[in-house]
């Protein structure tokens, strides 16, 4: 459990970090909180010639309000998100997903950008990003671009980011009025990656009927899965059996993987229960807000 030798770089600006990536001198990898990358290196599941540590780049840290969204800098720790009153108020789904990530020691080091860039299919943040229609800000050697979360996650640990790009921030849309949000997951032990899970948000009309729904599942495929048919079916619904029907619709096309934690058929069954539960909680919350 010792990493293969690498050259360590500690740039002070994003531009300097990008220059090192662009140099193309062997395999180069960005280091954020190290909560996924360090075990990979230590177990020699991967080896790189250069590591570019982003922990001394202050411009990558921070949470700001920008035109209907919260812009969360890539190097903002998960613990900062967990403690943020602004995140709790403006993007409650992101806030509520955070305590499900590992243990607080992991969240102290782990970053928002690291979780998004690592793209583990059982991770909470990618599912939050997909459910809310977040945009991933990527900076490359010559330009900045924004990729919709729906297009960013392309497979297990694989994203649309180019090797010479850095995730600099994630833009999460601010919640709409009369909305509720809930995260439900099943893990074998507290702090483990989820066997299956879901992030849901709904908004209601003045009469309490659902007018928009957002559902993404995680741990059930190679990327987070947005349940668009279920979302559409929920529009106009008042809850009750509609939620359970929508939950069945959300898992109808899933073919989750089987592994030593659970067979795919179990993941699918559990996912339906979790979606129904999360929708119920989100709807109850949305209705509690007075118009
Ligand atoms: C015991 C344990 C339990 C865990 N449980 C969970 C869990 O339940 N849910 C969960 O979601 N996660 C869990 N994690 C992972 C944790 O959330 C990590 O923090 C996260 O996956 C990676 O974030 P990081 O900042 O540590 O990134 P790192 O480990 O430093 O990097 C991960 C990968 O992302 C790349 N990367 C990082 N930042 C950027 C960037 N800004 N731009 C481009 N590429 C970048 C790196 O090059 C690397 O390939 C767990 C980890 C441990 C050790």
State pLDDT tens for residues 87-146.
Answer: 999 999 999 999 999 999 999 999 999 999 999 999 999 999 999 999 999 999 999 999
Indicate the range of 24-28, 229-233, 237-241, 284-288 predicted with least confidence: 24-28
Mutate to test the pocket of ligand 1, among 18, 33, 114, 136 (most ligand atoms within 8 A of CB): 114
Neighbour-count burial of 236, counting CB atoms closer than 10 A to its CB (0-12 exposed, 13-18 middle, 19+ buried): exposed
Query: What pLDDT shows up at residue 1?
Result: 73
Q: Which atom of ligand 1 is nearest to the CA of 103?
A: 3
Query: What pLDDT shows up at residue 24?
Result: 76
Write the DSSP symbol of residue 208.
Answer: S
Query: What pLDDT shows up at residue 229?
Result: 97
Beta bridge partner(s), residue 217? 198, 225
> What are the tokens at 128?
């939050």
On the question of pLDDT at 187 being above 90, the answer is yes
Query: What pLDDT shows up at residue 112?
Result: 98
Assign 3-class secondary structure to 253-279. CCCCCCCCCCCHHHHHHHHHHHHHHHH
Protein residues whose CB sits closer than 6 Å to any atom of ligand 1:
29-37, 54, 74, 100-102, 106, 110-111, 113-115, 117-118, 120, 123-125, 161, 166-167, 191, 193
Ligand 1 center to 37 CA (angstroms): 7
Find all residues with CB under 8 Å of 26, minimum gap 6, and list them.
Answer: 48, 49, 50
- The protein residue with its alpha carbon nearest to ligand 1, atom 4, reads 102
pLDDT band at 190; cut points 50, 70, 90: confident
Share of the chain above pLDDT 90, in %: 96
- The protein residue with its alpha carbon nearest to ligand 1, atom 46, reads 30
First CA to last CA distance, the chain: 57
Ligand 1 center to 115 CA (angstroms): 4
């Amino acid at each position: 459990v010792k990493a293969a030798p690498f050259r360590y770089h500690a740039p002070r600006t994003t531009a300097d970090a990008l220059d090192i990536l662009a140099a193309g001198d062997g395999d180069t990898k960005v280091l954020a909180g190290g909560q996924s990358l360090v075990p990979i290196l230590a177990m020699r599941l991967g080896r790189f010639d250069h590591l570019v540590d982003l922990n001394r780049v202050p411009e990558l840290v921070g949470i700001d309000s920008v035109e209907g969204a919260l812009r969360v800098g890539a190097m903002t720790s998960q613990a900062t998100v967990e403690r943020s009153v602004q995140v709790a108020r403006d993007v409650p789904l992101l806030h509520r997903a955070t305590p499900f990530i590992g243990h607080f020691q992991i969240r102290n080091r782990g970053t928002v950008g690291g979780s998004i860039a690592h793209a583990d299919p059982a991770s909470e943040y990618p599912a939050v990003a997909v459910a809310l229609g977040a945009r991933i800000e990527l900076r490359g050697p010559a330009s900045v671009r924004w990729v919709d979360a729906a297009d960013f996650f392309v497979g297990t640990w694989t994203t649309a980011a180019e090797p010479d790009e850095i995730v600099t921030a994630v833009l999460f849309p601010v919640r709409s009025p009369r909305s509720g949000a809930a995260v439900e997951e099943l893990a074998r032990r507290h702090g483990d990656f989820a066997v299956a899970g879901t992030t849901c948000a709904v908004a209601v009309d003045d009469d309490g009927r659902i007018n928009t729904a957002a559902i993404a599942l995680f741990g059930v495929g190679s990327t987070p899965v947005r349940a668009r048919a279920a979302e559409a079916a929920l529009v106009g619904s008042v809850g009750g059996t509609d939620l359970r029907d929508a939950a069945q619709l959300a898992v109808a096309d899933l073919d989750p993987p089987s592994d030593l934690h659970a067979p795919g058929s179990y993941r699918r069954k559990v996912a339906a229960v979790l979606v129904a539960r999360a929708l119920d909680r989100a709807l109850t919350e949305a209705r509690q807000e007075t118009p």
